[in-house]
Every structure is written in C-alpha cells, then in structure tokens.
Amino acid sequence: MDVVSVSTVTQAMLDAGWAPPAVLALATTLAEAYTTPKRAYHDLRHVEELLAWFAAVRDQGPGWAHPSDVLAAVLFHDAVYVAGQADNEARSAELAGSCIAQHGLPCDVLRVVALIEATARHGAESPSLAHEATGEASDLLHFLDADMAILGAEPERFDDYERAIAEEYRVVPEAAFRTGRGRFLTRLLALPWLYQTEFFSSRLELAARSNLTRASAALNP
C-alpha cells in the first residue's frame, strides 16, 4: 500500500470538510479498492496525481462549480478496474454512489455517477476546445482533462505510464496488445484537440502530442 498516497487522499477529503469518521472509513475502502487487483497504473498514485490537478484547477484555474462532487469522482473513478473490462466505470460509479449514501457525504450522487461514467468515452469522441463551458459542463470537461493529464507529463513519467499500461494488459498476447494500443494512440493523435479546456490545453497539448507520437513510433518501428 502506498502510505503517502493514502495520506494525500485522506487529507483531500478532510480539506473538503467531509466528516472525519467517514474519511477514515473511506480511506480504508479506497486503499483496498485500488490494490484489488494489483495495478501498475490505475492505482492510488494516479488518484494522487489527479488530486494535484484538482487543486490546480481550484487555485489557478476557473475553479469547480461542485467541488465535492468532482472530488468524489476523482477518488472513485478507477476504484473498480480490471484491464479490458467494459464495465469498470459503471462499477466504480456504483461503488461511489453506495459510499456516498452510506457515509452521508455532501455530494450529488447523480452528478458523481455522470462524471465517472464519462471517463469510459476517452478518445471515443472528437472534442473541441470549449471556451465557454460553465457550471456542471465545465466541471466535466476539466475532470476529463485531468484524467488524461498523464499524456502531457514529462517524458520519463509518460514512459513509466506506457510501461505500466503494458503491465496491466500482460494477460493479452503482446502482438494483440501492441496492435490495440497502436490504434488507440493513432486515434488520439487524430483528434483536433486532446484536451477540451484552455486550462489543460495551454499546459499539456504540445507535450502530449510529442509523447504520443513517440509512443506510437515505438509500437510501429
């Protein structure tokens, strides 16, 4: 278990004003969820990185219309994860809703569920840069961009991410994985924008395209 990440997650919930007894119970639930099964990327380190972006949007960007809902989505969006399964997002959303109800969290279940389920559509649509989004729409776009921020990470961190994804898909024959991953990267590179918000696009778009181009070339030498 990543003690540092658990501490970061716990502090984020306390900072949001969630009740300490609920926070302690949720910290245990999340720590168990994000280590079952063992993950190489979709773990609490990923959540910790999203929490950093959550704070950045709050403090340096447009802020969040419904911060508690977005926080819950950040914490639970990959709580259920088995590589290649189509229902990961739906099951993660279900767990989030159950925990919100059980612990009386100050969150809107429908909004949290919608945020989590939207992560299933990464790369499946052709996004445009949305300058005028406000309220819930702004929350959704910034949350989705935060989840994809790893694409624009420093090259060393991005390479760690690529290796971790390959590790999570190790049950898939290597040739099939390389073909599928290559198609995914090509689809991303074909999008007019990787990020849908000015906040993320201005910071990460160029680096993300550089990383993706390099990764795609490595899969197709």
> How far from each other are the two terminal CA atoms of the chain, in whole angstroms?
37
Is pLDDT above 90 for 187? Answer: yes
Name the band, by pLDDT with cuts 50, 70 and 90, for residue 220. Answer: confident
| 84-110 mean pLDDT | 98
Name the band, by pLDDT with cuts 50, 70 and 90, for residue 2. Answer: confident
Q: How much of the chain exceeds pLDDT 70, in percent?
A: 95
Q: How many CA atoms within 13 Å lie on the side-chain side of 54?
A: 23
Q: What is the pTM of this model?
A: 0.95
Name the band, by pLDDT with cuts 50, 70 and 90, for residue 183. Answer: very high
Q: How much of the chain exceeds pLDDT 90, in percent?
A: 90
Name the band, by pLDDT with cuts 50, 70 and 90, for residue 134. Answer: confident
- C-alpha–C-alpha distance, residues 1 and 13, integer Å: 19
CATH number of 3-219: 1.10.1300.10
| 120-130 mean pLDDT | 71
Q: Where are the domains of the chain?
A: 3-219
